[in-house]
Amino acid sequence: MTTTLLDTLRQIVGADHVLTEGDLTAYEQDWRKRARGKALAVVRPASTPEVAAVVKACAAAGCSIVPQGGNTGLSVGSTPDDSGTQVVLSLTRMNAVRAMDRDNLTMTVEAGCILQSLQETANKEGLLFPLSLAAEGSCTIGGNLSTNAGGTQVVRYGNARELCLGLEVVTPQGEVWDGLSGLRKDNTGYDLRDLFIGSEGTLGIITAATMKLFPQPAARLTAWAAVPSMAAAVRLLGLAHQHLGAGLTGFEVMGQFALSLVTRHMPQLRVPFAGLKGAPPYYVLLENSDSESEQHARERFEALLELAFEDGCMLDAVVAESLSQAQELWHIRESIPLAQAEEGLNIKHDISIAASRIPAFVEHADALLAREIPGVRLVNFGHLGDGNLHYNVQAPEGGDAGEFLRTQEARVNQLVYDAVAQFGGSFSAEHGVGQLKADKLAQYKSPVALSMMRAIKQALDPQGLMNPGCVLQK
């Protein structure tokens, strides 16, 4: 049966695109190197009909499929198990921009398109595709949609879900649903698009999408502000919403310890206010995009910062005077995960809580972890504008980071996720559930929600062949 299936797959996509030998680490190991599986084969179709034919062949053989884009996910959602019986279906060859509609402000793209290339394609047309995240140079739009990716501009433009108008999907039976509508209004039955977005390849395979575009802003300004507390950062967020409105396109918070790791491991980066005596506990990175002019943007920005200073929710600030300075500030923020990795293995959390409750959560969780695990170090940063924190936990200074991860991860996760639930939040804001957190879904999601999810899975994928073990436990 296995030989017959492999022969069929070679006939569909060509022998060169059915990989069974050699180093397949790029496909079989997850981005964070948390898991390594063994695939029966890595299959690389070049078109939607080829994807459909591959799925039909696998369904007929009872072979499960693990859809994969850039394999940059952080929850082990696109990695095969170690059975050697699963097909990894890589969509990276499907990287065409099928259509650009300037008047409708949309572009229709294939799932294997690299996110950064889509940003550049829109930019060449004088338009903006605002989805932006750290892995944009290697992640794909299909993966972004499958995980409902977030990033740095959700406060203005929303998650990947809000940026998508239509999908093309291959079902678990190998049929093709063409829902590539560029319509912004279509109330004709159930919203199938939103069903597949965020489903992490467990209900079908996204092969193409119609995405929203926006006019390029006339000006974009960036500021770095020191704030006396997390509560002050939330107060500054409120003032920014009030005075910038839709012009607020970025609002990031960074803890002092998180930035100290950047200073320690990347001394070439100049972190504003670093090394000052009595350094504030938190810093905020704000972005203001303006449709009129740079002068108009600067006037509104400076008025906001002056008001925040008078209010007491901001201690000091620097405004980037050029695009290169703004890029340097963003580079510091985006370097925190890399600096944390240099410090050693750590326990990562991607959580969301209503912005209004984040100060109380942080105070509670910080005290809880300090009491339960003396000396633990907290690397707290994230997208405060949309209530998403990367609340990460580092081993005590001088401790064995690997040993800390092995012995404390389960306990730390329980403490943090229980606290998140207590404050009405979610244990996965933008990274998805994958295999890594499937047990947490069973623990923290309501029985009613889980029952509906299983019913949907059973209805669409009765053989259970689409990414088994991902999202819903086997």
pLDDT of residue 279: 84
The pLDDT assigned to 1 comes to 62
- For 29-48, what is each residue's pLDDT tens digit? 998 888 999 999 999 999 99
Question: In sequence order, which residues have a C-beta less than 8 Å from that of residue 192 and are 6 or more positions away?
Answer: 167, 169, 177, 179
* Amino acid letter, residue 157: Y
* pLDDT on residue 259: 96
Return the CATH architecture of domain 219-337.
2-Layer Sandwich (3.30)
Identify the DSSP state of 217. P
Same fold, 219-337 and 344-422: yes
Burial class for 183, CB neighbours closer than 10 Å (0-12, 13-18, 19+): exposed
Class of 1-216 per CATH? alpha beta
Q: Under a CB-based contact definition with an 8 Å cutoff, are residues 160 and 169 in contact?
A: no
Burial class for 188, CB neighbours closer than 10 Å (0-12, 13-18, 19+): exposed
Q: Is 388 helix (H, G, I), strand (E, B) or coil?
A: strand
DSSP string, 232-260: HHHHHHHHHHHHHGGGEEEEEEEEHHHHH
At the topology level, CATH places domain 344-422 in: Alpha-Beta Plaits (3.30.70)
- Signed CA dihedral, 155, 158, 159, 163: sign only: negative
Number of other CB atoms surrounding residue 397 within 10 Å: 9
Q: Which two tokens stand for residue 178?
A: 């063409």
Amino acid making up residue 372:
E
Rounded Cα gap, residues 166 and 181, in angstroms:
5
Q: Over the stretch 65-100, which tens digit does the pLDDT of each residue have? A: 999 999 999 899 999 999 999 999 999 999 999 999
pLDDT at 278: 78
Q: Which residues contact 410 (CB under 8 A, 6 or more apart)?
A: none
The pLDDT of 1-22, averaged and rounded, is 94
Q: State yes or no: pLDDT of 249 exceeds 90.
A: yes
Least confidently predicted of 46-60, 391-405, 455-469: 391-405
Closest CA to 337 of 23, 8, 31: 31
- Dig out the tokens for 166 from the structure: 């239509």
Measured between alpha carbons, how far is 205 from 109 in angstroms, rounded to an integer? 14
pLDDT, residue 134, reads 84
Rounded mean pLDDT of the chain? Answer: 95
Whether residue 205 has pLDDT greater than 80:
yes
What pLDDT is attached to residue 32? 84
Distance between CA atoms of residues 361 and 72, nearest Å? 29
Structural tokens at position 81: 């198990």
> What are the sequence ranges of the domains in the chain?
1-216, 219-337, 344-422
Cross-sheet strand order for the sheet of 164-170: 97-101, 106-110, 205-212, 164-170, 176-179
Give the strand pairing for 219-227 and 282-290. Answer: antiparallel
Share of the chain above pLDDT 70, in %: 100
Residue with tokens 């012009």: 247
Q: Which pLDDT belongs to residue 417?
A: 98
Prediction pTM value: 0.94
Q: Do the beta carbons of residue 4 and residue 40 sit within 8 Å?
A: no
Give 410's DSSP letter: H
Largest CA distance in the chain: 73
Q: Are 141 and 211 in contact (CB under 8 A)?
A: yes
Sign of the dihedral defined by the CA atoms of residues 222, 225, 230, 231, in that order: negative
- Please check the confidence at residue 158 and state whether its pLDDT lies above 70: yes
- Output the pLDDT for position 277: 73
* 253-305 per-position pLDDT tens digit: 999 999 999 999 999 999 998 877 778 999 999 999 999 998 999 999 999 99
**Which of 209, 211, 207, 210 shows the shortest CA–CA distance to 92?**
207
Q: What pLDDT does 245 receive?
A: 94
> Which one-letter amino acid corresponds to residue 228?
P
Looking up tokens 């065409």 gives 96
Which one is predicted more confidently, 456 or 294? 456
